[in-house]
Amino acid sequence: MKYYEIPSELFINNRLRLIKELPSDSLTILHSAEVPWRSGDGSMRFIQSSDLFYLTGVDQEETILILFPGHPDPAMREILFVRETSDLIAIWEGHKLSKEEATNVSGIDTVCWTGEFESLLRKLARKTDSIFLNYNEHARSGAPVNISRDDRFREWCQDLYPSHSYHRLAPLMHRLRVKKSEPEIELLQTACNITADGFARVLKFVKPGVKEYEIEAELLHEFTRQGSRGFAYEPIIASGKNANVLHYLSNDQTCEDGELILMDVAAEYANYNSDLTRTIPVNGKFTPRQREVYDAVLRILRLCIDKLLTPGKKMKEEYHREVARAMEDELIALDLLDPAVVAAERENENLPEEKRAYRKYFMHGVSHSLGLDVHDVTPTEGIFVENMCVTVEPGIYLPDEGFGIRLENDVIVRESGNLDLMAHIPIEADEIEALMAGS
């Protein structure tokens, strides 16, 4: 592992929280992620299932967790299965967890080899009528069905035990994972700190004539040298008009004098992700118009963090609408919207947000959950909750003027005042200019 060992107490407490939500006589089963294949005989880097990692801390393929809170034998209440290693596996793939190491990582005393799973499951299934199985219920998921070990096991298990009562684990996991514990916040902060160092590095590197992919390389170098797996998501390094493509991924153009560069790029650490966006001038100096738009976006970001983002607030019906009304005022001041048009739209409460004039310049949401997934699980009730980690990322996009600006910080939502995990990363235009000038 690149990251420091995480105390097993985090995973023990996560399981205890889940067990409180489960019927004592129920059986819960979760599987690790697959090793993804690229083509031919080549595999890509393994990334663990977020739910399994959350409950065990095991960062290894072919891992299974069983929870049976009410089993009469305490040794059968938590069972972890890990891949049995061998000298041959060690030569070709490297070290795999021993049973003792798996216990140290997870805090689970009963550890078996994965090959023992099926026979033990048959014994446990006879002692319950209720089984909780996992499924990717993320609202934004576009993944095809039956691609994960959880998916294939779910079909196999239901065929083998058709008379059992099956239940959804995802709603319980979502509710637990939304609220971040202090150890999780520390891991998120570490990811943000690594990201901060990457951003500081590129401020010294950027100048007219550099390629977008050269900036990407500088960031990757800084991230990986600090123990990150690398990018938390595919990096967006968008100069000039490319910034108006929200998910621009080519990163192959030359950064020209007078342009801005929108960089939506961040590091992960120990499977926890950060998410940063900064927009900087290629030559180190904003033009008056660029600065005018930049400051408008920054005001929206500050407004969200300082006033609008609060526990208990409805995400879409309240928060996003409040941001939209503030953005309309900024766009009017920038001579981008007609005040009369905006006034008429505000009178029409039934007009959908996507039909309003401001959407021409600000067409995406302003916040999403963040954690073990970059777009992390969200409350089923659709409200912000205490210790939820979210992004704040307003933007204004001006294709006709050849640039777009987005700014983004990661925030822990708290009633006592939000904790900005990226408050130490430069964002004021004057500070950006000073750092790029070497001051």
Catalytic site includes residue 264:
yes
Q: Check residue 145 and give its pLDDT.
A: 55
Catalytic site includes residue 275:
yes
Q: Check residue 146 and give its pLDDT.
A: 54
Catalytic site includes residue 41:
yes
pLDDT confidence tier of residue 143, bands split at 50, 70 and 90 = low
> How confident is the model over 235-272, as pLDDT tens digits?
999 999 999 999 999 999 999 999 999 999 999 999 99
Residue range 99-111: average pLDDT?
98
Catalytic site includes residue 408:
yes
Q: Out of 51, 78, 393, 410, which one is annotated catalytic?
A: 393
Q: Out of 61, 222, 259, 275, which one is annotated catalytic?
A: 275
Q: Out of 345, 375, 386, 414, which one is annotated catalytic?
A: 375
Q: Out of 122, 152, 221, 247, which one is annotated catalytic?
A: 247
Catalytic site includes residue 247:
yes
| Range in 35-39, 131-135, 213-217 the model is least confident about | 35-39
Q: Out of 41, 73, 100, 335, which one is annotated catalytic?
A: 41
Q: Check residue 139 and give its pLDDT.
A: 76
> How confident is the model over 278-306, as pLDDT tens digits?
999 999 999 999 999 999 999 999 999 99
pLDDT confidence tier of residue 136, bands split at 50, 70 and 90 = confident
Q: Out of 59, 408, 420, 433, which one is annotated catalytic?
A: 408
Catalytic site includes residue 406:
yes
Catalytic site includes residue 368:
yes
pTM: 0.96
> How confident is the model over 389-437, as pLDDT tens digits?
999 999 999 999 999 999 999 999 999 999 999 999 999 999 999 999 9
Q: Out of 161, 272, 319, 397, which one is annotated catalytic?
A: 397
Residue 99, pLDDT above cutoff 70: yes
> How confident is the model over 327-338, as pLDDT tens digits?
999 999 999 999
> How confident is the model over 193-222, as pLDDT tens digits?
999 999 999 999 999 999 999 999 999 999
> How confident is the model over 349-385, as pLDDT tens digits?
899 999 999 999 999 999 999 999 999 999 878 999 9
Q: Check residue 423 and give its pLDDT.
A: 98
Average pLDDT of the residues of the chain: 96
Catalytic site includes residue 397:
yes
Q: Out of 292, 364, 415, 430, which one is annotated catalytic?
A: 364
Q: Out of 51, 151, 212, 264, which one is annotated catalytic?
A: 264
pLDDT confidence tier of residue 38, bands split at 50, 70 and 90 = confident
- For the chain, the three-class secondary structure string (H helix, E strand, C coil) is CCCCCCCCHHHHHHHHHHHHHCCCCEEEEEECCCCCEEECCEECCCCCCHHHHHHHCCCCCCCEEEECCCCCCHHHCEEEEECCCCHHHHHHHCCCCCHHHHHHHHCCCEEEEHHHHHHHHHHHHCCCCEEEECCCCCCCCCCCCCCCHHHHHHHHHHHHCCCCEEEECHHHHHHHHHECCHHHHHHHHHHHHHHHHHHHHHHHHCCCCCEHHHHHHHHHHHHHHCCCCCECCCCEEEEHHHHHCCCCCCCCCECCCCCEEEEECCEEECCEECCCEEEEECCCCCCHHHHHHHHHHHHHHHHHHHHHCCCCCEHHHHHHHHHHHHHHHHHHHCCCCCHHHHHHHHHCCCCCHHHCHHHHCCCCCCCCECCCCCCCCCCCCCECCCCEEEEECCEEEEHHHCEEEECEEEEECCCCCCEECCCCCCCCHHHHHHHHCCC
Residue 144, pLDDT above cutoff 70: no
Domains and CATH numbers, the chain: 9-178 (3.40.350.10), 182-436 (3.90.230.10)
